[in-house]
Amino acid sequence: MQPFTQHIGIVLPLQRANIDTDAIIPKQFLKRIARTGFGQFLFYDWRFDETGSTKPDFILNRAPYDRATVLLAGPNFGCGSSREHAPWSLQDFGFQVIIASSFADIFYNNCFKNGILPIVLPLTVTEQLIQAATNEPGFTLDIDLPAQEVRTMSGDIFHFDLDPYRKMCLTQGLDDIAITLLHANEIASYEKTAPFATPIN
């Protein structure tokens, strides 16, 4: 996982509540073995018609939103099934930050495990930012994780709360496996002594 400290990126505004994981990555695309390659299927039913042609009226199919790396959405983002493919597809497409007034718990946790920063801001703030990004294609946000701030180019600053442990993992680029490997010496020592400490009868 890459360390995350600061990110400046174009915003994709999706003013929809209850965007579920099946909308993010439909179930028919969950058969891939690798964790990569899911970005092409992100929001598939919204981006493409029944023939596989792109829908020009969907915002993600229009420049400059097709280069967005910050997603602004309505409340309860990531609800539905617990598929980890949802953050995989978002990350593979290029999104590094997701901002909403609330998230489904499992999706929220999966974001941290995959190096995506999910930010909770008040609904009034997210609606304000969504409106700005809708009115101004190319609207950009500056996300400073150490300071826990979301900043607009015009100077507005919005503070967000974050669990210190999750913040540490993101800033150092540590997932669950990497954290375990920090204790590799202790694990090896335990494995050497455990058979003698608890002999098998």
Alpha-carbon span 114 to 178, nearest angstrom: 12
User: How does 133-168 read in b/e, with b if 16+ C-beta sit within 10 Å?
Assistant: bbeeeebbbebebeeeebbbeeeeebebebeeebbe
User: Rounded to two decimals, what is the model's pTM?
Assistant: 0.88
pLDDT digits (tens, 9 = 90+) for 5-44: 999 999 999 999 999 999 999 999 998 778 889 999 999 9
> DSSP character for 137?
T
What pLDDT sits at residue 180?
65
Task: Return the DSSP state at 198.
Answer: S
Average pLDDT over all residues of the chain: 92
Residue pLDDT, tens place only, 137-180 = 999 999 999 999 999 999 999 999 999 999 999 999 987 666 66
Residue 106: predicted pLDDT: 96
CA atoms within 13 A on the CB side of 18: 1
Measured between alpha carbons, how far is 70 from 10 in angstroms, rounded to an integer? 6
10: β partners: 140
Query: pLDDT band at residue 182, thresholds of 50, 70 and 90?
Result: low
Place of tokens 């993010």: 24
114 and 138 in contact (C-beta within 8 Å)? no
H-type alpha helices, the chain: 21-24, 44-47, 85-93, 105-113, 123-135, 164-172, 176-181, 184-197
CA 114 to chain centre: 8
CA 153 remoteness from chain centre? 22
Distance CA 41, CA 25 (A): 6
- Domains of the chain by start residue, with CATH: 6-197 (3.20.19.10)
Residue pair 116/29 in contact (Cβ under 8 Å)? The answer is no
